[in-house]
Amino acid sequence: MRGRPLLYTRYEADQAILNTVTKKVMVLIFLSALLLIPFQVLPGLDFLGENDWLRLLSTVAIFIIGALGLNILLGLAGQVSLGHAFFMGVGAYVAAVLGSDPEGLRLGFGLPMWIWLPAAGVVAAGIGVAFGPAAVRVRGLYLAFVTLGLVFVGDYVFRNLISVTGGAEVGRTFPPLEFRLWKEDTPLIDFASDGAWFGIELTSEAKTFYFVLAVAILFMLLAKNLQRTRVGRAFQAIRDRDIAAEIMGVDEVSFKLRAFGISSFYAGVSGALLASFVGTVIPARWDLFLSIQFIAIVLIGGAGTVAGVVLGTAFVTLLPRLVQDATLWMEDVVETGDNLLATLLDLVVATESTDFGLINTLPGVGPGLSVFQLNQVIYGLLIILFLIFEPLGLFGIWIRIRNYWKGWPFTY
């Protein structure tokens, strides 16, 4: 109603995904900006249209899908899992077997993407449901250890199932992102090569970005709608108080199995897209650090919220690039400047083997932390800080800012 933007007279309006005009406008502006990024026409953000940044943004979209799956399990159902990387690996290798060239060195059937992509999620979901009965018998820290075992089991299987994975050191190539009706030689839509769409010339990076963005938006809508269904409400009831939920008639075992299945489906699709996007992946890619990275995404972004997952994914995925660029800038200042700033930054970066700095910019082993090691430290610190000071993550910070301006000048 006019003048009463938060007054709802129908349940449908209250439960709508975009239930305010502000949300609708913000989403429209955000999507328009994303669509314009490859054309490099956004003032101040034209660098995002460069190929390396487009690949990074495509990685963000793929990681959003996987993080949404973990958010359903952790944020909605309250089940801690450290085995997300295992299910991503399962999805990746199912896609490889079904979609790779049957005449190649590794096992493959040459099926089109509209088969191997959903099949990657279905097989991962099936394994997640099969694993569920063992997982639902424990909770909390014990559940985390049980799911942690999946990562080590997967590491052993992936390294030794050479006909499927290619082995620990070599790995295998994955089917490219291209759409075929069946097994025709020329794909209908090839996302992995440069070409024209509707008369507009686009690079392969731009095509891939649009494709994974569309898939990510679809999965975001599915995850958002899941929260509003009976299944989503049952997940949240189990998360808040599982015993009380069971007393009220919620079948705890059944809904936990569904949570594992849905989460694993998201992880399988994300793993298949990631492997196909990268092209060649070794089994070590699906390790514990990848699972920790998704835990960091959910906790830093805001568990239980789709918007928080998007914020957390963008933050965690782009952080290594920002750290790398900042390190290179500090190294350049130290090597070319002789002012106070260069002296201070010399204490932060180690540009010579005799330096003692926090960040190592030398090739190989040297003093200080490498950029990869620094990112690991930052992930850990951010998880600790957000859990202590802002459990709702970046989404909680946004809520604080929004509520402040809504109530201004009355700040109480």
pLDDT, tens digit (0-9, with 9 covering 90-100), for 319-341? 888 888 888 888 888 888 777 88
- Counting as low any pLDDT under 50, the low residues of the chain are 1
What pLDDT score does 123 carry?
97
CA 134 to CA 118: how far, in whole Å? 26
Q: Check residue 349 and give its pLDDT.
A: 81
Q: What is the pTM of this model?
A: 0.92
- Buried b / exposed e over 10-29, threshold 16 CB at 10 Å, is eeeeeeeeeeeeeeeeeeee
Q: Return contacts of 211-216, CB within 8 angstroms, 24+ apart.
A: 211/177, 212/58, 212/61, 212/62, 212/273, 212/277, 213/34, 213/58, 213/61, 215/61, 215/65, 215/269, 215/273, 216/61, 216/62, 216/64, 216/65
- H/E segment holding residue 39: none
Distance CA 246, CA 231 (A): 14
Give the start-to-end residue ranges of the domains of the chain.
52-286, 288-412
- Provide the pLDDT for residue 364: 60
Q: What is the predicted pLDDT for the residue at 367?
A: 67
Phi, psi of 182 (to 5 degrees): -145, -110
- Tell me if 95 sits within 8 A of 292, measured CB to CB: no
Structure tokens at 95: 């896609």
Beta strands in 153-199 (DSSP E): 172-173, 178-179, 189-190, 195-197
| Side-chain-side CA neighbours of residue 341 (13 Å) | 8
Take residue 87 and report the two structure tokens written for it.
Answer: 């299910």
Q: Are strands 280-281 and 200-202 parallel, antiparallel or unpaired?
A: unpaired
Which CA distances in Å does 412 have to 104, 388, 409? 66, 23, 9
Closest by alpha carbon to 262, among 116, 62, 75, 391? 75
H/E element, 325: helix 306-336
Predicted pLDDT at 412: 59
Catalogue the E-assigned strands of 264-310.
280-281
**Is 42 exposed, middle or buried, given 0-12, 13-18 or 19+ CB atoms closer than 10 A?**
middle
Q: What's the pLDDT at 58?
A: 96
Place of tokens 């330096």: 355
Per residue in 364-408, pLDDT (tens digit) is 656 677 777 888 888 888 888 888 888 889 999 988 888 887 777
